[in-house]
Amino acid sequence: MSAADFINNSPETKPFWDAAAIGRFVLPRCRECRRTHWYPRGFCPHCMSTTLDWQESPGNGEIHSFSVNRMGTEPYVLAYVALEEGPIMLTNVIDADPATLSIGTRVKLVFRPAIGQAPVPLFTIA
Ligand SMILES: [Zn+2]
């Protein structure tokens, strides 16, 4: 089993990747306190309930924090994105000039195809 198989097939994350495979972005949502969270796991990090659902998200948010890595052939942006629903995701901001980014820049989710696994959720300028 590869790392990708493990990520895609663990019970906590499989619904996320199944949705991603058909272009839907979903977040785990607690049935008890009704808050969403990220990353997917078997319990709510806010109230510890194990009764969770999945809620579709439009994938809108803003840059909470970011850094530009210039060690490779092209710079890339590693960022924490605060989603409108509340959770903060560690992700990449793509197709953007790093010089134009700042904390608070509005971003939106894009799925980027990945070889041998479900599309990966990334963000670009909204
Ligand atoms: Zn909860």
Q: Which two tokens stand for residue 65?
A: 């924090």
58-71 confidence digits (pLDDT tens): 999 999 999 999 99
- 43 alpha carbon to ligand 1 midpoint, in Å? 8
Predicted local distance difference test score (pLDDT) of residue 115: 87
- 90 alpha carbon to ligand 1 midpoint, in Å? 21
Q: Are 28 and 37 in contact (CB under 8 A)?
A: yes
Predicted local distance difference test score (pLDDT) of residue 8: 60
How far is 87 from 96, CA to CA, in rounded Å?
Answer: 22
Question: Over the chain, what is the mean pLDDT?
Answer: 92
Predicted local distance difference test score (pLDDT) of residue 7: 56
The candidate with the shortest Cα–Cα distance to 102, out of 76, 72, 69, 125, is: 125
Q: What is the pTM of this model?
A: 0.88
Chain-centre distance of CA 55, in angstroms? 13
- 46 alpha carbon to ligand 1 midpoint, in Å? 5
The CATH number fitting domain 3-125, selected from 3.40.640.10, 3.30.465.10, 2.40.50.840, 3.30.479.20: 2.40.50.840
Q: Are 55 and 27 in contact (CB under 8 A)?
A: yes
- 16 alpha carbon to ligand 1 midpoint, in Å? 18
74-112 confidence digits (pLDDT tens): 899 999 999 999 999 999 999 999 999 999 999 999 999
- In a 3-state reduction of DSSP, which class is residue 88? strand
How far is 36 from 105, CA to CA, in rounded Å?
Answer: 22
12-45 confidence digits (pLDDT tens): 899 999 999 999 999 999 999 999 999 999 999 9
- 33 alpha carbon to ligand 1 midpoint, in Å? 4
- 57 alpha carbon to ligand 1 midpoint, in Å? 18
- 52 alpha carbon to ligand 1 midpoint, in Å? 8
Q: What are the residue boundaries of the structural domains of the chain, listed by start?
A: 3-125
